[in-house]
Structure 1
Amino acid sequence: MNWYLKVLQQYADFKGRARRKEYWMFFLFQILIIVLLSLIIIFSSGGFDSNEEPSDIGLIILGLYFLVTLIPTIAVSVRRLHDTNRSGWWYLLVIIPYIGRFVLLIFNCMDSYNGSNKWGENPKGVGNDTLINQIGTE
């Protein structure tokens, strides 16, 4: 949960680098929250077997959640691209259906670029582990 909160604290920070762990933990909690909200909407309208329409309030809450987390999602994706030594402009591949997201998935699974690059020091570098381990203990 601390990784999710770290990304939200860096709401619109497109500078720097994001480790794989930061990126994937954010998306894990993102998916869990969306599934939880979706289940609440489904069960508040009578469940899976019901023909009732979902409540407007639930759909509005889900839509607002998407809007609120849109910028942090893009920002952590750009920082993850920076960590693989790629420009954040590569994120525009999402415009290309299927292929673009697949290429970004491959980039996001790649290991960090060793050493520093123009976006900063390697977050997994020597001496940086203590900073990462302090997340949530402050």
Structure 2
Amino acid sequence: MTQGEGTPFDTQPEWPSEPVGATDPGDLTLPLYGATFGQAVSRFYGSYARFSGRASRSEFWWVMLALTVVAFLCGGFVGAAGEDSALELIAMVIMVLFLLGCAIPGWALLVRRLHDANLSGWMSLLTVLPYVGIVIQIVFGLLPSKQLGERFDRR
């Protein structure tokens, strides 16, 4: 008798190879694997300060790209405004407001990304370490999704 013919070896449970994700981009309770740029940014602001649940790698990296591009554009606008001008002051205020407005949702996104990799969200505090914080955030963003991370979902 071979293993495929109904032997006791067939009693082993089958586990899905991938964690369960959202099929509808509007469902913010589960991560959206393979999210597009627009979907990721929309979900980022829709889950503004939600530290529970999970976020996929695509959600994380699309948002990081968007935030980096906007920060560089704001910095370029501040630099082009010239010194000691009212335009420079306005550009600085807009840039600071943008950075403050994205701090909490960015931190929440990193916590949800850590949850998807089956790690504690408290590990996000390692990003405040001088000089290595950005490297840690990149490493956390590259971690693969794990099925055990589903324990952080609210059902």
Q: Fold conserved (TM > 0.5)? A: yes
Instruction: Find the counterpart in structure 2 of residue 25 from structure 1.
Output: 62
- Contact between 1:93 and 1:101, CA under 8 Å: does it hold in 2? no
Q: For 1:63-82, what aligned pairs fall within 5 Å after superposition?
A: 63-82=96-115
Question: How far has the Cα of 1:41 moved from its partner?
Answer: 1.9
Question: How far has the Cα of 1:100 moved from its partner?
Answer: 4.2
Determine the C-alpha separation between the residues in 2 that align with 1:63 and 1:29: 16
After TM superposition, the structure 1 stretch with the greater mean CA deviation from structure 2, 22-31 or 101-110, is: 101-110
Determine the C-alpha separation between the residues in 2 that align with 1:61 and 1:116: 37
SS at match of 1:117: helix
Instruction: Find the counterpart in structure 1 of residue 50 from structure 2.
Output: 13
SS at match of 2:151: coil
Determine the C-alpha separation between the residues in 2 that align with 1:4 and 1:41: 24
TM-score w.r.t. the length of structure 2 is 0.67
Determine the C-alpha separation between the residues in 2 that align with 1:90 and 1:44: 39
Instruction: Find the counterpart in structure 2 of residue 102 from structure 1.
Output: 135
Gaps in structure 1 of 5+ consecutive residues: 46-51, 122-138
RCO (CA 8 Å, sep 6+): is it higher in 1 or 2? 1
Q: Point out the structure with max Rg over C-alpha.
A: 2
After TM superposition, the structure 1 stretch with the greater mean CA deviation from structure 2, 95-104 or 111-120, is: 95-104
- Contact between 2:48 and 2:104, CA under 8 Å: does it hold in 1? yes
The two structures, once aligned, show a CA RMSD in angstroms of 1.9
**Is 1:89 aligned to 2:122, yes or no?**
yes
TM-score w.r.t. the length of structure 1 is 0.75
Matched to 2:95, the amino acid is: L
Instruction: Find the counterpart in structure 2 of residue 39 from structure 1.
Output: 76
Instruction: Give aligned pairs, total.
Output: 115
Matched to 1:75, the amino acid is: A
Instruction: Find the counterpart in structure 1 of residue 8 from structure 2.
Output: none
